[in-house]
Amino acid sequence: MVNIIDIAKQVGVSPSTVSRVVNGKGYVKLKKREEILKIIDETGYIPNKAARNMSRGRSFAIGIVIPDTFNIFQRQLFSVIERNVDSFGYHTLFFFVKPEGVSEKACLNHMKSEKLDGVILLHELKDTLFYEYCADIKLPVISTICNHRHIPTVTIDDRQAAKEGVNHLIGLGHTKIAMICAGGFSFGNRRVEGYYEALEENGLPRDERRLVYVPQYTAESGMYGMRELLLRSRDFSAVFAASDELALGAMRSLRDEDLRIPEDVSLIGFDDIDIADYLHPRLTTIRQPIREIGEQAARYLHRVITAQQGTEAEVVLPHRLIIRDSTCTPVDKTAQ
């Protein structure tokens, strides 16, 4: 039986382009539209599978919720998700959220104006109205960025991952370890929990001066976060940044102060984005399995939409400590 992928291959377009023609939604060039309609007519595709889908009210549209200033990790994750939902015959619609709380309501109103088959969250939403709306209309939702008790998730164990990162620094001999983290996000809170748990289990005291919260997971925030740490106290030999982009900004501030990495300050990040292995020094970090997260999120949502799977799921994928050049044993300054 001919399917949407077969038609797409014959015309030389993506499955989502065929779905837009079938459902009469979205722009497709006239020439391509005519080619697709011709093959649909010749193969009898509409009277079979497509007709059944249209009778169910399918739109072949997936909503992607992202922050308006999304970082490199989210860009990489979106790229994987977009490729995979496209392979299932969907096209994507973006819903941007700004840091201000009112922006979440605007995002929800925008989403209500579109017909969607499902939603993937690349950003943590705090407004319960979003989750209530999706539950009321039975709109499938999955999150790749936080563990939310109301919706399925595909994530890693952020607390354990952070704990392993800090334990790596402690294992090298660091006893005064600072942290930079963006506030207001549950996954960030779990990374802070892992940071403190590693300190406590190794008999190291908490020092609130060594924890700095910044607005976002960006290089700019990391730069200002490190400046704040240095202003508070330089009594630390290592820094755990809760994302690689925070670490990237922290590198800038350390160099501005003529501090060497890792000789003066060891630095560890989180995510293992593409550029982490190309920085100088190469960044030690916690690797999130970005490709697997995106693939599993897209596959799970498709199975829920097509009634192949229920809506209850929590997938916790393995993380990995990647040791590179930005961490080392503390240098004894008195011996210099």
Question: Of 12-16, 151-155, 214-218, 229-233, which range is least confident?
Answer: 12-16
Rounded Cα gap, residues 264 and 333, in angstroms: 9
Q: At 19, which CATH number? A: 1.10.260.40
Of the candidates 170, 331, 174, the residue with the CA atom closest to the CA atom of residue 264: 331
Q: Is residue 249 part of a domain?
A: yes
Q: Are 192 and 83 members of one domain?
A: no
Long-range contacts of 100-107 (CB under 8 A, 24+ apart): 101/126, 101/127, 103/68, 104/130, 105/129, 107/65
Q: Are 307 and 190 members of one domain?
A: no
Between these two residues, 69 and 231, which has the higher pLDDT value? 231
Residue pointed to by tokens 């209309």: 137
Across 325-329, average pLDDT: 97
Q: Are 81 and 212 members of one domain?
A: no
Neighbouring residues of 72: CB distance < 8 A, sequence distance ≥ 6: 244, 245, 273, 274, 275
The answer, yes or no, to whether residue 235 has pLDDT greater than 70, is yes
Q: Are 272 and 242 members of one domain?
A: yes
Q: Are 199 and 313 members of one domain?
A: no
Q: At 217, which CATH number? A: 3.40.50.2300
Q: Is residue 335 part of a domain?
A: no
Q: Are 21 and 127 members of one domain?
A: no
Per residue in 118-163, pLDDT tens? 999 998 888 888 888 888 888 999 999 876 667 899 999 999 999 9
Q: Is residue 185 part of a domain?
A: yes
Of the candidates 156, 97, 126, 177, the residue with the CA atom closest to the CA atom of residue 286: 156
Q: Are 128 and 173 members of one domain?
A: no
Q: Are 216 and 255 members of one domain?
A: yes
Q: Are 150 and 133 members of one domain?
A: yes
Identity of the amino acid at 219: A
Rounded Cα gap, residues 28 and 9, in angstroms: 16
> pTM of the predicted model, to two decimals?
0.81
- Taking phi over 0 as left and psi of -120 to 50 as alpha, with beta for the rest, 207 belongs to beta
Q: What is the mean pLDDT of the chain?
A: 88
Name the pLDDT band for 14 (thresholds 50, 70, 90). confident
Q: Please count the structural domains in the chain.
A: 3
Question: Residue 307 belongs to what domain range?
Answer: 61-156+290-318
Q: Is residue 208 part of a domain?
A: yes
Name the pLDDT band for 22 (thresholds 50, 70, 90). confident
Give the pLDDT of residue 311: 66
Neighbouring residues of 67: CB distance < 8 A, sequence distance ≥ 6: 74, 96, 97, 98, 99, 122, 123, 216
Per residue in 183-199, pLDDT tens? 888 899 999 999 999 99
Q: Are 270 and 228 members of one domain?
A: yes
Q: Are 100 and 150 members of one domain?
A: yes
Q: Is residue 336 part of a domain?
A: no
Q: Are 197 and 325 members of one domain?
A: yes
Rounded Cα gap, residues 157 and 160, in angstroms: 6
Q: Is residue 106 part of a domain?
A: yes
Per residue in 267-321, pLDDT tens? 999 999 999 999 999 999 999 999 999 999 999 999 898 877 676 678 899 999 9
Give the pLDDT of residue 20: 77
Q: Are strands 153-155 and 285-287 parallel, antiparallel or unpaired?
A: unpaired
Burial 69-97 (b: 16+ CB within 10 A, else e): ebbbbbebbbebbbebbbbbbbbebebbb
DSSP secondary structure string, 155-209? Answer: E--HHHHHHHHHHHHHHHT---EEEEEESS-HHHHHHHHHHHHHHHHTTPPP-GG
The answer, yes or no, to whether residue 51 has pLDDT greater than 50, is no
Q: Are 307 and 262 in contact (CB under 8 A)?
A: no
Question: Of 41-45, 77-81, 169-173, which range is least confident?
Answer: 41-45
Beta strands in 251-292 (DSSP E): 266-268, 285-287
The answer, yes or no, to whether residue 49 has pLDDT greater than 70, is no
Q: Is residue 295 part of a domain?
A: yes
